[in-house]
């Protein structure tokens, strides 16, 4: 966040385009929530009072379509999937937003904004629909770097009834069997873009600091939000942050590609904290190629950090006060990396260097250096939402018994490997014998140690 200057000293307002709850979330959906949770944590760590808004779009064409397919009211589909998103956010350690407004709860605010836009000549009503006149707004296309004449027609409604094919619908007249709300222009339902303009204004005012969302929202969604809000007289957002996609086989993750990986399913085979570690590790603006193997590789790296924390905690006497994060313990290089557009990969490099130094200090039995590394590691993990000894991870359940056993065995295997590296074969054999005594058999292979559990 280089040269970030908030509008109000000490306070930061953040609006994140949240879930459109047409289906349960796959890991691509949830990356945005994790990335902006790190942003929020870092702003808080820097001393700002953060108001964090993450909306829920609970009415749109696909929600209505899926409700018709299931023969249930639209709100059944919306609520079912909103709960699935909430489970996913909670499972991956995302702090709850300050407010989480639903679109359907803010119809009056949308109507008022559309009335303002019509009054100043930027909106117009036709046959029960309400449209935004893109040519009346100077600067339309600036965020996405596009010219109006090069844009395709908006898919919101029939082009022949609009002033310009690129005008987009802020309000859609009711169709038979669809949900609707009464307005001065007749019954209907909101368009996608007016929802966020109205909710951002209600909860953050006419001028706020940061607006975020996925890369795919730059156009048309965020472009249209800017047009509506600024045409209505708002200054709107000062900064825009967009996270990149999660891909599989080089393609954006989506249900249509048949490669959707639901979070509810992934956390049955992957520790949630390790999935978060994997998602956090890449820069938020970098594409991330998902595979179970990649997550497992990341998990091994995280377990090395956990192993260091556990050994350090025991070496330092197991004082519970050691578990409290101390912000002053964070290395300056870590803070500099996070200040540089949330460069988590650079911050991870500092984190892992600290752990390596801490392990060396353990070998040397240097309590002072071990303590410094321990405190620094805890403080950095706290910022990233990865401190295994803080909420929500303390006492959190794992996916299943096997994943619990695997996590514990991996810590022991790491300790055994480090003992062998320093030629402490007595300690190495003791770890292996201890595992053997409880029915865990270790096999050393060229690819590393493997374990099996004898029944």
Residue 243 forms beta bridges with which residues?
214
Q: Which helix (H) or strand (E) holds 47?
A: none
Q: What CA–CA distance (Å, rounded) separates 36 from 1?
A: 13
User: Could you state, in order of their start, the residue ranges of all structural domains in the chain?
Assistant: 11-257, 286-453
To 10 degrees, what angle do helices 425-437 and 401-421 make? 160
**R_g over Cα of the chain:** 26
Q: Which of 140, 193, 205 is nearest to 168 (CA)?
A: 193
Q: What CA–CA distance (Å, rounded) separates 318 from 249?
A: 45
Q: Which of 98, 102, 103, 100 is nearest to 40 (CA)?
A: 98
Residue 455 pLDDT: 47
Per-residue pLDDT of the chain (455 residues; tens, 9 = 90+): 447 899 999 999 999 999 999 999 999 999 999 999 999 999 999 999 999 999 999 999 999 999 999 999 999 999 999 999 999 999 999 999 999 999 999 999 999 999 999 999 999 999 999 999 999 999 999 999 999 988 887 765 455 688 998 999 999 999 999 999 999 999 999 999 999 999 999 999 999 999 999 999 999 999 999 999 999 999 999 999 999 999 887 777 765 545 458 999 898 888 999 999 999 999 999 999 998 889 999 999 999 999 999 999 989 987 766 777 788 899 999 999 999 999 999 999 999 999 999 999 999 999 999 999 999 999 999 999 999 988 888 755 444 455 557 777 888 888 898 888 898 899 889 988 888 888 888 888 765 777 776 64
Q: Which of 237, 240, 220 is nearest to 229 (CA)?
A: 237
307, 243 in Cβ contact below 8 A? no
User: Up-side HSE of residue 427: CA atoms within 13 Å toward CB?
Assistant: 14
Residue 151 pLDDT: 86
275, 295 in Cβ contact below 8 A? yes
For residue 308, what are its two tokens?
A: 């260091």
Residue 210 forms beta bridges with which residues?
14, 239
The CA-CA-CA angle for residues 241, 280, 302, to 5°, reads: 170
- Given the candidates 3.40.190.10, 1.10.3720.10, 3.30.70.580, 3.40.50.620, the CATH classification of the domain at 11-257 is 3.40.50.620
For residue 7, what are its two tokens?
A: 């509008």
Task: Sheet with 123-126: list strands edge to edge.
Answer: 123-126, 129-132, 168-173, 188-190
| Beta strands 288-289 and 440-445, pairing class | unpaired
Contacts of 42 by beta carbon, 8 Å cutoff, 6+ apart: 1, 338, 342, 383
Residue 248 pLDDT: 83
374, 322 in Cβ contact below 8 A? yes
Q: Which of 419, 413, 442 is nearest to 362 (CA)?
A: 419
Q: Which of 266, 359, 347, 267 is nearest to 308 (CA)?
A: 359
Q: Give the ranges where 3-155 is alpha helix by DSSP (H).
A: 27-45, 61-70, 74-91, 107-119
């Amino acid at each position: 966040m280089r040269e970030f200057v908030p509008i109000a000293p000490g306070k930061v307002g953040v609006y994140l385009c949240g879930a459109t709850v047409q289906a349960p979330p796959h890991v691509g959906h949830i990356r945005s929530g994790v990335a902006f949770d790190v942003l929020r944590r870092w702003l808080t760590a820097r001393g700002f009072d953060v108001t964090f808004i993450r909306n829920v779009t609970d009415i749109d064409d696909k929600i209505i379509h899926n409700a018709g397919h299931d023969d249930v009211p639209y709100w059944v589909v919306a609520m079912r999937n909103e709960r699935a998103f909430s489970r996913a956010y909670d499972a991956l350690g995302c702090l709850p937003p300050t407010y989480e407004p639903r679109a359907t709860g803010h119809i009056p605010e949308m109507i008022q904004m559309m009335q303002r836009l019509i009054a100043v000549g930027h909106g117009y009503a036709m046959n029960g629909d309400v449209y935004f006149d893109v040519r009346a707004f100077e600067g339309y296309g600036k965020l996405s770097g596009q010219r109006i004449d090069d844009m395709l027609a908006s898919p919101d409604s029939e082009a022949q009834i609009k002033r310009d094919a690129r005008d987009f619908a802020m309000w859609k007249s009711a169709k038979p069997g669809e949900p609707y709300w009464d307005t001065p222009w007749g019954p209907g339902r909101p368009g996608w873009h007016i929802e966020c303009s109205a909710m951002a204004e209600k909860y953050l005012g006419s001028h706020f600091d940061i607006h975020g969302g996925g890369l795919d929202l730059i156009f048309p969604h965020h472009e249209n939000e800017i047009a509506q809000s600024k045409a209505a007289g708002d200054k709107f957002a000062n900064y825009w942050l967009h996270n990149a996609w999660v891909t599989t086989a080089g393609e954006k993750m989506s249900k249509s590609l048949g490669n959707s990986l639901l979070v509810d399913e992934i956390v049955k085979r992957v520790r949630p904290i390790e999935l978060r570690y994997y998602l956090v590790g890449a820069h938020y603006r970098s594409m991330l190629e998902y595979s179970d193997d990649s997550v497992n590789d990341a998990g091994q790296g995280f377990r090395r950090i956990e192993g260091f924390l556990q050994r350090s905690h025991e070496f330092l006497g197991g004082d519970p006060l050691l578990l409290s994060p101390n912000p002053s313990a964070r290395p300056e290089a870590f803070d500099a990396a996070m200040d540089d557009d949330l460069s988590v990969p650079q911050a991870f490099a500092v984190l892992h260097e600290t752990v390596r130094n801490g392990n060396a200090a353990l070998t040397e039995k240097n309590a002072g250096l071990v303590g410094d590394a321990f405190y620094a590691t805890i403080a950095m993990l706290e910022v990233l939402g990865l401190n295994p000894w803080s909420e929500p991870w303390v006492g959190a359940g794992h996916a299943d018994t096997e994943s619990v056993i695997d996590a514990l065995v991996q810590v022991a295997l790491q300790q055994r490997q480090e003992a062998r590296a320093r030629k402490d074969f007595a300690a190495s054999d003791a770890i292996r014998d201890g595992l053997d005594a409880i029915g865990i058999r270790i096999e050393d292979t060229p690819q590393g140690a493997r374990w099996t559990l004898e029944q």
